[in-house]
Amino acid sequence: MLEYLELRGEALLPHLDDLGRLRIRIFREYPYLYDGSVPYEREYLLTYARSPRALVILVRDDGRPVGATTCLPMEDEGPEFQAPFLAAGIPPEEVFYFGESILLPEYRGHGVGKEFFRRREAHARTVGPFRLTVFCAVDRPDNHPLRPDGYRPLDTFWQSQGYQRRPELQSEFVWKETGESEESHKQLTFWLKEWPC
pLDDT exceeds 80 at position 197: no
The amino acid at 98: F
40: nearest Cα among 19, 55, 65: 19
Counting residues of the chain whose pLDDT is more than 70, the rounded percentage is 100
Domain around 17: 2-144+152-194
pLDDT attached to residue 181: 92
Residue 20: partners with Cβ closer than 8 Å, 6 or more residues away: 36, 38, 40, 41, 42, 44, 45
Using one digit for the tens of pLDDT, what is the confidence trace for 121-146?
Answer: 999 999 999 999 999 999 999 999 99
pLDDT attached to residue 64: 96
Q: How many CA atoms lie within 13 A of 53 on its CB side?
A: 21
Q: What is the CATH number of the domain that holds 106?
A: 3.40.630.30
Do residues 31 and 24 make contact, with C-beta atoms less than 8 angstroms apart?
no
Question: In whole angstroms, what is the distance from residue 75 CA to residue 90 CA?
Answer: 12
Using one digit for the tens of pLDDT, what is the confidence trace for 152-163?
Answer: 999 999 999 999
DSSP, residue by residue, 28-45: TSTTT-B---HHHHHHHH
Using one digit for the tens of pLDDT, what is the confidence trace for 60-88?
Answer: 999 999 999 999 999 999 999 999 999 99
pLDDT attached to residue 36: 92
Do residues 193 and 161 make contact, with C-beta atoms less than 8 angstroms apart?
yes
Mean pLDDT of 170-188: 94
Q: What is the mean pLDDT of the chain?
A: 96
Residue 66: partners with Cβ closer than 8 Å, 6 or more residues away: 2, 22, 59, 60, 103, 104, 107
pLDDT attached to residue 136: 98
Question: In whole angstroms, what is the distance from residue 57 CA to residue 123 CA?
Answer: 11
- pTM of the entire structure? 0.96
Based on the structure, what is the number of domains in the chain? 1
Residue 92: partners with Cβ closer than 8 Å, 6 or more residues away: 73, 74, 75, 77, 82, 85, 86
Instruction: Give backbone dihedrals phi and psi of 30, rounded to 5 degrees, phi first.
Output: -65, 140
